[in-house]
Amino acid sequence: MKFTEEHEWLREEDGVMVVGITIHAAEQLGDVVFVELPDEGGTVSKDDEVVVIESVKAASDILAPVDGEIVEVNSALADNPGMVNDDPQGEAWFFKLKISDPSQMDEFMDEAAYQKFIA
């Protein structure tokens, strides 16, 4: 698993990257009440706004960590946005991305580096 400075995690699964937010990010947001997901099949560029999350504290955008194509979204989050608080690094992933340029993954942190980053 890799981590970004924007508190996103990326996990490779069957040749695509699964993207979600970290436990730290979910705790900072508070109770999530709404999640707007991207359309499947859309192409995104690094730092494009892809997901909108609204919580009782704030609204936040999730940015595309790399260039690629959205191949799947977690539609369960639309009906149950609280999953983001319950299991942010597991069942509450946001989207799956087929990466255009795998070398973009090189800039992300491993878990030890991320833990140091948020300390």
Tens of pLDDT, residues 47-80: 999 999 999 988 999 999 999 999 999 999 999 9
Whole-angstrom distance, CA of residue 102 vs CA of residue 64: 14
80-103: pLDDT as tens digits: 999 999 999 999 999 999 999 989
Q: Is the pLDDT of residue 17 over 90?
A: yes
Largest Cα separation within the chain, whole Å, is 37
* Cross-strand bridge partners of residue 36: 52
Whole-angstrom distance, CA of residue 93 vs CA of residue 84: 8
Structure tokens at 60: 């936040």
